[in-house]
Amino acid sequence: MILSDQSIKDKITSGEIKLIPWENQVIEKLMENIVCASMDLELWNEFRFFKEVPGHVLNPFDDDSKDITEAMRVEDGEDLIIQPWAFLLAATKERFGIPDNLVARVEGRSSLWRLGLIIHVTAWFIDPGFGRDAPSTITLEISNINHVPIIIRPWMRICQLAFDEMDQPSAMPYNKKKKAKYNGQQAPQASKLFVSG
């Protein structure tokens, strides 16, 4: 069952869904981003790009590939131009803790899709228990599939988060996994596929 706008607000107010505002944000203002059956999320200032290393083949099973991304900060009010077919990692300003009886889904905004901007290339599913003990930002996989560059800016509404209620709480929520690789992330997180678990 997909949660309505009022149900999302109720679960945030009660603390069932943990929502931690980022710098200069307040919960009351964030609640205004909840409409219909989802919550709009804002773009943070930190990004990760893949470095161009001549001859390097990206191997997610090899520790040598774990440092192939580099961080970049875009200040408030500045533009980030995403070239055609470019791929980068970004993060939401907001941090979340998902209870063990809900899953969340990152969805693109239709207005950005119509420009050719993809917000999550594949990973839209957020496990129950994600960020529960350490509220976490959500890493976004952004790509420009248009043939012209697209501008994005920190603090823009970049995606929406919807919540689905499970038939029963998870027996092994994400925060209880032996190696919850991305729990507690506070910035765009590169792949940790090479980390066992």
Annotated catalytic residues are: 141
Which residues does 76 contact at the CB level (< 8 Å), separation at least 6?
A: 45, 154, 155
The secondary structure element, H or E, covering residue 12 is helix 5-14
Determine the 3-state secondary structure of 41 from DSSP.
strand
**Running DSSP on this structure, what letter comes out for residue 63?**
G
Which tokens is 66 given?
């774990």
Q: Give me the amino acid identity at 177.
A: K
CB atoms within 10 A of CB 84: 13
Angle at Cα 189 formed by Cα 30 and Cα 101, nearest 5°? 55
Q: For the chain, give the number of residues.
A: 197
Rounded Cα distance, 87 and 121, in Å: 9
